[in-house]
Amino acid sequence: MFSIVLYFAHLQAVFIPIYFGIKSINKFKFIFNFYLIPYGFIFLGFASLFEMFDHFTTAWIYINHSSIFNWLFYSCLSIGLTLLSVSVLKKKIFIIFCCSLCVLSICAYWSYGKTIAILFQILISIFLIINWQQKFKDFLFWAYPIFGIFLTTFFGTNLLSTGNQIWHIFIGPSGSVSVLTFYLVLVRSGKRLSSIKL
């Protein structure tokens, strides 16, 4: 029973972002780089998919290690968050800065270790929070750092410190709540814009 729940917790983290990515195609045209939004969601789904592949190599027991699939997980996560961040940017200097953080995160994994790659990913997340909050000014967006950063880190830390796999179940759904937050903020922003035009 536990294994089924664990598989489902990971599968939903694959399909939910990809579903929102498909729903976002040719939508949200009020966003400057709206065409990047579907790719951002889809890469978040790919990240979860590669995490599943990595778990297959460890018999679904979470192990803090470096591997090709683990690198692909972090790389796709960095790319997805970067694309969502860049989607609302207009100034090239900020776009270049954000993309540079993404490249550094991807390259640092093998060059300097996973910890350094995660530090760059944290910077990507901070930049994303700043960009989206300035753009949308929606209190709902604060669900992203709560679920996508703080709670996933809390669950992951407990998993590492205790070895109790029950914490593993909560990480994927918590991340999916943050993905849902991105989509709802975009929808709410579109509705506000439509009401202003009316």
Counted domains in the chain: 1
Which range marks the domain in which residue 96 is found? 2-197
Across the 198 residues of the chain, what is the mean pLDDT of every consecutive 10-residue run? 88 97 95 96 97 90 88 97 97 96 96 92 95 94 94 90 88 95 96 70
Question: 23 Cβ partners below 8 Å, 6+ apart?
Answer: 183
| pLDDT at residue 139, rounded to an integer | 93
| pLDDT at residue 73, rounded to an integer | 96
| pLDDT at residue 160, rounded to an integer | 82
Q: Is the dihedral of CA 71, 42, 102, 120 positive or negative?
A: negative
Q: pTM of the prediction? A: 0.94
| pLDDT at residue 154, rounded to an integer | 93
- Own/partner pairs for 88-91, CB < 8 Å, 24+ apart? 88/31, 88/32, 88/33, 88/131, 88/132, 88/135, 88/136, 89/32, 89/33, 89/131, 90/32
Q: What is the Cα–Cα distance from 37 to 83, expressed in whole angstroms?
A: 7
* Closest C-alpha among 44, 11, 18, 19 to residue 128: 44
